Amino acid sequence: MCQSKIIDFFHQKQGIFLFLIIFMICFSGTYKLSGQMANESYKIRKIVIDAGHGGRDPGTSGKKVKEKDVALAIALKLGKYIEENLEDVEVIYTRKTDVLIDLYKRGDIANKAHADLFISIHANSFPNPRISGTETYVMGLHTNDENFEVAKTENAVITFEEDYTTKYEGFDPNSTESYIIFSLLQNSSLEQSLDFAGLVQNQFKNRVNRIDRGVRQAGFIVLWKTTMPSVLIETGYLSNTREEVFLASETGQDYIASAIFRAFRDYKINIESKSNFSHMITEPSILFKVQISSSRKQLDLNSNLFKNYTQVQEFQVGKLYKYAVGSTDSYEEIVRLQSEVRKDIKGAFVIAIKDNEIIPLSEALNEINK
Ligand SMILES: [Zn+2]
């Protein structure tokens, strides 16, 4: 009974929107929680290197080379530099050969591995062949048409995938409306993503003599669901003859890979030297969530009951198992989520968590208003 109600609901547009909001709020909370666990001495241990495109998706092309090949060559070189020089870091590749990996799987690989950083490597193109240079993107809503075009082109690869409308919750890479969701994105690892992106662009400009087209923001599906700092690097324009020759050459690929390597090494040093400190003090002491269910029996988080929600969290309070979604230190934000969730589950309500325990809401509100 309850199940069919949920399924009906999910067929409505509203359901998709709700799902997205919950996803985003969960998303911002998850990183905080993992940060909390890592506060002792946070180390960068795993990096996922994602060579864009592959297989039947060539990406963009120059006169001679295809983006998928350039991206793979740089990704493999970058991985090798890290493996050879930073022994404490594990490198995970989304692909090491010429195969097509679905966009959502790329982020999934990073999430499942609990990676500390996700780097997606690409090459660009533009109708005007005079344009050249590098750009490093972080996730967000584009602020200009140029960035939007890059995101649209990169996202269009999902149309090579089977059943993409279902997999990406109706996301249409060419519709402006689809991108509005990115304006709601609350990515608490944005700051680290921006730090790393800045280091990459600096290296490109100062050490490899590339034209610096800056750190930018746009809605890339491949970065959408990663739960760690993530960037997408456009290593140059294959539509520019000189840049194509550079990117197609072994030397050019080496330069680009070593620049990204140095940026990564610096980022690692920065993060690890200030980790104790920053993770301790930026941690909110109270988090709000929306409780959606409670039960005497432990429920399966993958059950149909929770199918509208990603990242349902379980708490045990006495003999009861409680299930909640969302995670934010803003009361206003959680009340908004509560009203969205109530369209689906009428009895949903806000709870407050302190030191991993549920505390009375009034106590939490008193404390945050202090
Ligand atoms: Zn690409």
Order across the sheet with 349-354: list the strands.
Answer: 313-317, 320-328, 286-295, 349-354, 357-359
The verdict on residue 29 lying in a domain is: no
Q: Output DSSP code: residue 210.
A: -
Number of domains in the chain: 2
Per-residue pLDDT tens for 155-184? 988 988 888 888 888 888 888 888 877 766
Residue 185 and residue 302 in one domain: no
Q: Give the end of a domain, one of 239, 264, 280.
A: 280
pLDDT band at 232 (very low <50, low <70, confident <90, very high): very high
pLDDT: which is higher, 155 or 333: 155
pLDDT band at 279 (very low <50, low <70, confident <90, very high): very low
Q: Check if the beta carbon of residue 8 is closer than 8 Å to that of residue 307.
A: no
pLDDT band at 36 (very low <50, low <70, confident <90, very high): very low
Separation of CA 36 and ligand 1 centre (Å)? 34
Q: What pLDDT, on the 0 to 100 scale, is given for residue 188?
A: 60
Q: Give the end of a domain, one of 263, 280, 297.
A: 280
Residue 236 and residue 289 in one domain: no
Separation of CA 189 and ligand 1 centre (Å)? 23
Q: Is 146 exposed, middle or buried (0-12, 13-18, 19+ CB in 10 A)?
A: middle
Residue 200 and residue 112 in one domain: yes
Separation of CA 20 and ligand 1 centre (Å)? 25
pLDDT band at 35 (very low <50, low <70, confident <90, very high): very low
Separation of CA 72 and ligand 1 centre (Å)? 11
Separation of CA 52 and ligand 1 centre (Å)? 5
Residue 104 and residue 116 in one domain: yes
Separation of CA 29 and ligand 1 centre (Å)? 29
Residue 310 has pLDDT above 70, yes or no: no
Angle at 222 between CA 219 and CA 228, to 5 degrees: 95
Separation of CA 81 and ligand 1 centre (Å)? 22
What is this structure's pTM?
A: 0.66
Residue 135 and residue 59 in one domain: yes
**Enclosing domain of residue 275:** 40-280
The verdict on residue 334 lying in a domain is: yes
Q: What pLDDT, on the 0 to 100 scale, is given for residue 134?
A: 98
Question: Averaged over 1-17, what is the pLDDT?
Answer: 41
pLDDT band at 248 (very low <50, low <70, confident <90, very high): very high
The mean pLDDT of the chain is 84
Q: Give the end of a domain, one of 280, 303, 325.
A: 280
Residue 4 has pLDDT above 70, yes or no: no
The verdict on residue 19 lying in a domain is: no
Which CATH number do you get for residue 324?
3.30.70.1070
Residue 15 has pLDDT above 80, yes or no: no
